[in-house]
Structure 1
Amino acid sequence: MMRLYSSFKQVLGADMAGPLAALLIVLVVFGLTSPQFFTAATFGSVAFQLPELGILTLAMLLPILTGGLNLAITFTANVAGLTLAWVLQTNGGPDAGPIAFVLGSLLGVSVGAASGLVMGLVIAFTRAHPILVSLSMMIFLRGLGEFLTRGGDISGFPAFVAPIGHGSLFSVPIPLLILIACVAVTHIILSRSRLGFATYMIGSNIEAARYSGINTRKVLVLVYVLSGAIAAIAGIIMLARFNSVRIGHGESYLLITVLACFLGGINPFGGFGRVVPVFVALIVLQLLSSGLNLLGANQHLATAVWGLLLITVMVLRWTSVRFFKKNR
């Protein structure tokens, strides 16, 4: 039994056990209770709904690994979308060309990175708590967005923008391909780069990281810059999917990104966690939501079940840790 556990840990990692078990339970339960669950329509819906939540979760994951938090990810995404919408509107609206879209996207990602830069600088140099700093940025971005849009929507974009949110490439949704690319890049950064190593070190013990020669201020700033840039990519996808921009789009995703991180084995105090288990946890949450919808359940019930699932996973994780420590 212990040999099998060691092999499993070496191949997939111990933190994959919880998400994979949750995935298996969801597939079995809804496969037995809903005949429409194992259909192409269900998994196609999951594939199109998952990317924006998944990319926002990656934006949340990086600060959590340092022991922080970024509560401004959804409003950063929407302000980035507003930036892209403004560039398209000033270059002809529905008649804007691909160059305007590329420039607007780069400017939107730059705006997202700038919001992360401000948060990172404040957190790194003043040692203010990340929750307070990101909450302040969230309020600022929300107020700025409401002021610029007067609480309304901005729509009327070129036709070539829609496939980014609804199109497919070789029968694979384009938003899903973007999510997979973001997951791969984030995984490489965290597992193969000095920035990733320093991120885990800061999350484990920031004082020890500082004494070991790591420039903790620089790392914190880079982490929040990356978080803002990734959130901006989610904002571009939301613009393409909804064919409009509003400062409140995706506001309900904020707490779900935190839930997905913890379900994927991320230590809430930082220093431990991987991208792949979080990706599996995202699939579990989206399948759970789709399965409940097929059963006619209210969306609020799905939210309640998500919370119950998180509590269950935390209890199971604590039990498994105690069990393996005792047997070791």
Structure 2
Amino acid sequence: MIMTTLAQSAHDPWWRSPVVRKNAIVFVFALFLIVGTAVSRGRLVEPGNLSNILFQSSVIGVLALGEALVMLTGGIDLSIVALMVASAIFMGGAGSELQQQMSMSNALPYVGFLPAIAIAMIGAAGVGLINGLMVVVLRIPAFIATLVMALVLSGVSMLFTGGAPIYNPDAFFADLGATRIFTLPVPVYIFLVLTAVIGVLLARSKLGVVLYALGGNSRAARLSGIAVERTTVAIYTLSGLLSGLAGFLFLARTGSVAPTSGDNFLLGTIAAVVVGGVSLAGGKGSIRNAFVGVLFLATLSNFLNILLVSPHIQDAISGVVIILAIAINARLDPDA
């Protein structure tokens, strides 16, 4: 068996080698940086621009972490952006006295700055828990369950704001977004630390083994003694918690939030995860490559802005890049 595997590996083309298959998105991203730097005459990799790319990536990056975990189990969470927005609305509206005074349409009660954050984070985890229970207990397909939750959350956000934006959240959010450590905004460090922690957990702990086994074959995972239902609910709960944290970072990045904020975030998040090589079927992919996928799409968008490309054309180019990335991943790993 070993000799057969070695013989087969020896005859595989270079682009099917384990190193290339595991690091394809890294190589593509590195090549893009080289070409983009040359075309933009160095503007793409200027320290200030790189800092801006990371800052812009922090919100979608945190959403992508939660989405990647769910997708590794073979599921999907379409409620992440609606939950992010609802969390940000509660933190900004219920945690700011100034917002209460300035807005006539805000139906949120004032509970205080820290209580608003705590309630929003706990509520976000609770929504994720409900998503998981709908999938596991009610056996509703994840696509339907989380889509319905997204619609409910969007309606609640509209109800409590009257459709008006939250323009005056507590000054802490703007201050946090403006605070830099070694030229990088604080939200970037939050994103990087979360990525590192989750990446290590998946690569070095039992959690990673469980998730990959669950996504690869849930029936086999159950027969091997893995608590499939409990693990699924826990992952959806964690995804909800990360969505709440993304709402916190969204306020720090923009200083305001509206019920319609983040309209393009969902597709961008899922695209970044898929471009990073996480399989929609579950069981394949890594947090590291999902992280690179987030940076790749954010850098591509920034590069097109530098070239003053029309937003409509940008969408078309991004769509082509996403399709190519998925096709390349499928070509490198036919079993993905």
SS of the equivalent of 2:262 reads: coil
Amino acid in structure 1 at the alignment position of 2:238 = L
CA deviation string 1:33-58 (max 9, x = no partner)? 22232323321221221101111111
What is the aligned partner in structure 2 of residue 326 from structure 1?
none
Structure 1 residue 87 corresponds to structure 2 residue 94: yes
After superposition, the Cα gap between the structure-2 partners of 1:242 and 1:314, relative to the gap in structure 1 and judged at 3 Å, is closer
Structure 1 residue 118 corresponds to structure 2 residue 130: yes
Amino acid in structure 2 at the alignment position of 1:118 = I
SS of the equivalent of 1:126 reads: coil
SS of the equivalent of 2:283 reads: coil
Shift of 1:314: 2.7
Distance 1:249 1:175 in 2: 18
Structure 1 residue 127 corresponds to structure 2 residue 139: yes
Amino acid in structure 1 at the alignment position of 2:32 = V
Shift of 1:165: 2.3
After superposition, the Cα gap between the structure-2 partners of 1:93 and 1:171, relative to the gap in structure 1 and judged at 3 Å, is farther
Distance 1:313 1:160 in 2: 39
| Identity %, equivalent residues | 28
What is the aligned partner in structure 2 of residue 178 from structure 1?
190
Shift of 1:257: 1.0
1:67 corresponds, among 65, 71, 74, to 74
What is the aligned partner in structure 1 of residue 269 from structure 2?
257
What is the aligned partner in structure 2 of residue 52 from structure 1?
59
Structure 1 residue 242 corresponds to structure 2 residue 254: yes
After superposition, the Cα gap between the structure-2 partners of 1:37 and 1:135, relative to the gap in structure 1 and judged at 3 Å, is same
Shift of 1:78: 1.0
Structure 1 residue 24 corresponds to structure 2 residue 39: no
Does 77-86 or 138-147 show the bigger shift?
Answer: 77-86
Shift of 1:92: 8.4
After superposition, the Cα gap between the structure-2 partners of 1:298 and 1:119, relative to the gap in structure 1 and judged at 3 Å, is same
Distance 2:117 2:21 in 1: 35
TM-score, with normalisation over the residues of structure 2? 0.86
Does 269-278 or 311-320 show the bigger shift?
Answer: 311-320
CA deviation string 1:190-218 (max 9, x = no partner)? 23333332222111111111111111111
Shift of 1:90: 5.2
Amino acid in structure 1 at the alignment position of 2:64 = T
Q: Which runs of 4+ in 1 moved over 6 A?
A: 91-94
Shift of 1:15: 4.7
- Unaligned stretches of 5+ residues in structure 1: 323-328
Structure 1 residue 308 corresponds to structure 2 residue 320: yes
Aligned-CA RMSD value = 2.6
Does 156-165 or 178-187 show the bigger shift?
Answer: 156-165
Amino acid in structure 1 at the alignment position of 2:261 = H
What is the aligned partner in structure 2 of residue 169 from structure 1?
181
Does 226-235 or 30-39 show the bigger shift?
Answer: 30-39
Does 282-291 or 242-251 show the bigger shift?
Answer: 242-251
Amino acid in structure 2 at the alignment position of 1:228 = G
After superposition, the Cα gap between the structure-2 partners of 1:158 and 1:314, relative to the gap in structure 1 and judged at 3 Å, is closer
Amino acid in structure 1 at the alignment position of 2:330 = W
Count of paired positions: 315
Shift of 1:313: 2.1
After superposition, the Cα gap between the structure-2 partners of 1:84 and 1:144, relative to the gap in structure 1 and judged at 3 Å, is same
